[in-house]
Amino acid sequence: MHLPSIVTDALLTLGQVAAEPQIDGPYVARVISRIVHILCAIILGGGLFYMRTILAPSGAAACFGDRRSVWARWVGIATFLLLASGLYNYVTIVRGEKAAGHALPTSYHMLFGIKFLLALLVFFIAAILAGRTSAAERFRANMARWLKIAWTAVMAIVIIGALLRTYHM
Ligand code: HEM
């Protein structure tokens, strides 16, 4: 039996409409993990950007006032949550794609590795600049330089994050 072309066209169009997400436990966990990841990236990256462009030119002391420990705590929280949500995202994305029959290529894992290493660099710089040890004092003597390196790494991380996403949009 031949269906009229208007019906086949309509069916084809319906098939192209993106499916509604299935709202279950794993879906909610994925969305929450993504929100946490982006929020913490904003806190850490935004904080470093503000320090680099606005505060650091007036000297290391201008960066923190008497609230260095408050920023140090946020650096710790953001670092922990970025690591936790990032690893969760990685494992669920890799598993999900494999289960759907299209395992992610090597280049995806290589880009992820570079992103991960750059993130470790950012965590280290953010933590040492906010630290209270004598090593931290030495790093703060070159605040502008370290912030420049950290911010460059943040930009590279965000670009790689966007590229990774194109593998499974
Ligand atoms: C300074 C630290 C970091 C920043 C600024 C950052 C930023 C980002 C951004 C902007 C995205 C894209 C978000 C989206 O489209 O949903 C992303 C995705 C992702 N990030 Fe991070 N991230 C950081 C650290 C980490 C770490 C430490 C890990 C791993 C442990 C990680 C793993 C991932 C993964 C797996 C994705 C999803 C990639 C994909 O869609 O295929 N990130 N990140």
- 19 in a domain, yes or no? no
pLDDT above 90 as % of the chain: 83
The CATH number of the domain where 43 resides is what? 1.20.120
Which residue range is the domain that position 54 belongs to?
Answer: 26-166
pTM value? Answer: 0.89
- Average confidence (pLDDT) over 134-144: 96
Q: In a 10 Å sphere around its CB, with 0-12 CB exposed, 13-18 middle and 19+ buried, how is residue 102 labelled?
A: exposed
CB of 121 shorter than 6 A to ligand 1: no
Q: How far apart, in whole angstroms, are the C-alpha atoms of residue 169 and residue 164?
A: 9
Number of domains in the chain: 1
Report H helices in 51-142: 60-64, 68-99, 106-129, 134-140
- 82 in a domain, yes or no? yes
pLDDT, tens digit, 9 for 90 and up, residues 4-38: 777 767 666 665 566 788 889 999 999 999 999 99
- 7 in a domain, yes or no? no
CB of 154 shorter than 6 A to ligand 1: yes
pLDDT, tens digit, 9 for 90 and up, residues 37-75: 999 999 999 999 999 999 999 988 899 999 999 999 999
Q: In angstroms, what is the span from residue 88 Cα to ligand 1's centroid?
A: 10
- 155 in a domain, yes or no? yes
Residue 69 confidence (pLDDT) = 96
Looking at every residue in the chain, the average pLDDT score rounds to: 93
DSSP character at residue 101: T
CB of 44 shorter than 6 A to ligand 1: yes
Q: In angstroms, what is the span from residue 37 Cα to ligand 1's centroid?
A: 7
